[in-house]
Chain A
Amino acid sequence: MLDLAIASQILWTSFSTSSYFVLFALAFALVLKVNKVFNFAQAAIMSVAFYSAYVAVRVLGLNGFAGLMACFAGGVLTAVLIEIFGFAKLRALKATPMFVFIFTIIVSQFVSYVLMLIFGTWPTTIFPTMFWPVSIVGGIAVSAWDIPALSAMFAILIALWCFLRFTRWGQFMIAVSDNPDLAELYGIQKNRVMIVSMAIAGGICAAGMFLYGTRAQVQPSAATELMLFAVAATIIGGIGNLWGAAIAAVVLGLVQNSSILFIPSAWQGFLLYAFLFLAIVLFPRGFHWPERASKLKRKTIDSLPASSEASGG
């Protein structure tokens, strides 16, 4: 029934395409963790990053490296602008989460309409061709895109992990995500930390979009769909758990790609929304990963009953 060769081919392709899914999920989960925002404006960041690369390569005729730089510049800049002129302002106005939520959706829609006006609705790619040479490794077709994409994903994962673990700013981000007010008491400038976190998320989005845009066609509304995938992964992976979101993204990518064996391809697009809906119904608080008794965790738990008592009077 199911050929082993086909199965392993699908497994490999899903795994390599999951590289950008992981990055989108990582960016979404990071902003949710540190900035405490369900950042639907991530779609705007992703679109701007893609079209920056598109302009650099296809319009200005620059080389691929310049395209990559443009992609990063577009993503990071958009993310930082959204934080400074959007989230920070809304925090200062003490806007309700609902208000911020709506803001992010409206921003992503606004940007997609602006891009539609400029670039039209026709799908396009960063490079004129999406063809990547293929070599056969152990019966599996491995494209020249796969290995660099996966390496980039792993490099970014490791870099982010090290950044959060070993650098001052990384520690600040963890502190702000645990308790922004307490962090501020210790002299951590919350607003600057949040700009850094958005900038990193913007960079990760740009990397993901560059990978995506060298392999598939993009139009102004495409980022919304890609982002909803990240939302589903974040919800399933556990809110506040970056690595859980990354793993969930791989699993979702695998399921969606392998679904081609069981359901007509026209329905594949529908599957994403089914995931999203099921994620909310089945894993309302995220999938429960086995708890580890780490030092950091204990500290946050310690403050729980005390802070609930103290929040009164």
Chain B
Amino acid sequence: MTDVLKIRDLNKSFGGIVVANNIDLDLRAGRVLGLIGPNGAGKTSLFNLVTGVVKPDSGSITLNGDAIDALPIYQRARRGLARTWQNLRLFPSLSVLDNVLLGPRDYPGEKLQSLIFDARGVARRQAENTEKAHRVLQRTGLGAVAHSRVQDIPYGQQKLVGVARALMNDARCLLLDEPMAGVEGQAYAAIQRVVRDIAESGVAVCVVEHNVAFVRDLCDEGVFMFAGKVLARGSVTELIADPRLTELYFGT
């Protein structure tokens, strides 16, 4: 089993508030890791630190053995790091398909010179990407709504658009921020199945989720965070059963 993402001694505080306190964490290929902990434990902050949205005070992050600390967000993504957002952050002025088409690591035509001097190459890769996007949409059960605008489809499907967009990256490491919040029914099952699939294809997945049942069913392992610290790592059932953690979770 290989470590795709390695986090070492990661620290970050805003003023007096510590959101990451000496975090050490590895994400392994083919495994789903659940991050649990109460609100404000630093789970989303950890995603922000890993993806480069927020700069850490100290510590190191490596992806597939390469240090990515100094890289801007988009270059981390191009090295195979993908994420979804708690509040979706879809592009409302684009259709579902066009949202997904922006996801590949190498976007045809992003280089202006290729747009002008290699128009045919761009068109061919664009066609390939469109085909791939349709496959991803099928896989996530969004085939029927490919041409809808994102704000016209149900919330659960919108969450899946976020996942589909991240899938276009062929990521080595996928971070899912509350994929289940507000989702029920068909979309719930679809997300569960898709995440399982992704992991089985060898991707390291990390999920922040409050839905304990979902975490227990899906995750191979769990990590309990509190006040920016990793308090415990183990099977999800064990973590949930630990009375000390439960007390921290629900507060006193």
Q: Do B40 and A309 have beta carbons less than 8 Å apart?
A: yes
Given A312-B181, A313-B178, does the pair A301, B14 have CB atoms closer than 8 Å? yes
CB within 8 Å of B: which A262-313 residues: 291, 293, 297-298, 301-302, 304-306, 308-313
| Residue from B45, B177, B182 in contact with A305 in the complex, judged by beta carbons closer than 8 Å | B45
Q: Do A298 and B16 have beta carbons less than 8 Å apart?
A: yes
Q: Residue of B at shortest CB range from A307?
A: B40
Given A309-B39, A309-B40, does the pair A304, B17 have CB atoms closer than 8 Å? yes
B side interface size, CB within 8 A: 18
Q: Do B40 and A305 have beta carbons less than 8 Å apart?
A: yes
Chain A positions within 8 Å of B21 at CB level: none
CB distance from A295 to the nearest CB of B (A): 12
Q: Do B15 and A297 have beta carbons less than 8 Å apart?
A: yes
Q: Do B87 and A305 have beta carbons less than 8 Å apart?
A: no
CB distance from B73 to the nearest CB of A (A): 16
| Whole-angstrom CA separation of A112 from B178 in the bound complex | 52
Chain B positions within 8 Å of A305 at CB level: 14, 17, 19, 40, 42, 45
A side interface size, CB within 8 A: 15
Q: Judge if B86 is at the interface, Cβ distance under 8 Å.
A: yes
User: A residues engaging B (CB < 8 A)?
Assistant: 291, 293, 297-298, 301-302, 304-306, 308-313
User: B residues engaging A (CB < 8 A)?
Assistant: 14-17, 19, 39-40, 42-45, 85-87, 177-178, 181-182
Given contacts A301-B17, A305-B45, A311-B87, 6 further A-B contacts (CB under 8 A): A291-B15, A298-B16, A301-B14, A305-B17, A309-B86, A313-B87
Name 23 interchain pairs, CB-CB below 8 A, sorted by A. Answer: A293-B16, A297-B15, A301-B15, A304-B14, A304-B15, A305-B17, A305-B19, A305-B42, A305-B45, A306-B39, A308-B44, A308-B45, A309-B43, A309-B44, A310-B39, A311-B86, A311-B87, A312-B85, A312-B86, A312-B178, A313-B86, A313-B87, A313-B181
